[in-house]
Structure 1
Amino acid sequence: MDFDTFLGEVESRGQLASTEDALRATRITFEALGRRVDAEDAERLGAQLPGELERFLTKEDAVERFAWGEFVGRLVEAGDYDEGAGGTAAYHARVVLSVVDDATTEGAVGAVRERLPAEEDWDELFALVDRSGQAADAE
């Protein structure tokens, strides 16, 4: 999937107002996720994405351990969302991950997911990926 198609999918699925909003949602999601997962995992996933997007995911080398709630807080802050817009920021991140799942080889998103703590609410990030997989299984 090329850069423009990727952003078009994020814009459409997320019902965002513009391509710029889609790029912002993608950038902040990738930057926050890139800080949370090992550099090797980020590079492996990023290698399957357009170079313009890969750089957001792979710009950090050091891994930070933070919970789902802090991830959402980072999205809100970096995306300049209104206060109390954590649900919107989290939804946009879920949209981005669903497009990533469609744009990469099977199992690429799952490999990143396996690195996140199972006991926390990280499954929230993959809710649309799960829903898409269930729909595909039903066909």
Structure 2
Amino acid sequence: MRYDEFIKTVSERDGHDDREIAVQTTEVVLADLGQRLKGGEADNLAAQLPEELKGPLTEHAATEPVVDDVDDFLRRVATHLGAGVDPEQARHHVAAVFATLSEAVSEGEIQNLRSQLPAGFGPLFK
């Protein structure tokens, strides 16, 4: 999937037509996801994404992974999105990005990604 197509799909799933919001949402969600991954998984996932999305996903990959549950992850995303975004709104944004990821990369890579996440993350991929 090309970058523009990825961003457009996130925007449509997120229910708005502002490209800049979709770009910010995608970058924040991928950066927070990248902080959670270990064992080179961020690099493996990034290898299947457009060049523009690799940086946010891998920028914190070398640090110690953040271990949190889905609620903590959503609070972190909400904080990073700012502008009064609450965790429930963040859930909607994360689901838009994760569902687009599911279309953009191989099924095997999604399975590898999901294997590093607690079960509570599962519904966000649909």
For normalisation by structure 2, the TM-score amounts to 0.90
Per-residue deviation, 1:122: 2.2
Distance (Å, rounded) in 2 between the aligned partners of 1:124 and 1:81: 25
Tell me the equivalent position of 2:30.
30
Tell me the equivalent position of 1:7.
7
Task: Give the letter aligned to residue 46 of structure 1.
Answer: A
Tell me the equivalent position of 2:88.
87
Aligned length: 124
CA contact (8 A) 1:94 1:125 kept: yes
For normalisation by structure 1, the TM-score amounts to 0.83
Tell me the equivalent position of 1:107.
108
Per-residue deviation, 1:117: 2.8
Higher radius of gyration, 1 or 2: 1
Distance (Å, rounded) in 2 between the aligned partners of 1:80 and 1:55: 20
- 4+ long deviations beyond 6 Å: none
CA contact (8 A) 1:43 1:58 kept: yes
Query: What's the C-alpha RMSD, in Å, of the aligned pairs?
Result: 1.4
Distance (Å, rounded) in 1 between the aligned partners of 2:121 and 2:6: 23
Per-residue deviation, 1:9: 0.7
Q: Calculate percent identity across the aligned residue pairs.
A: 28
CA contact (8 A) 2:36 2:67 kept: yes
Q: Which runs of 5+ in 2 are unaligned?
A: none
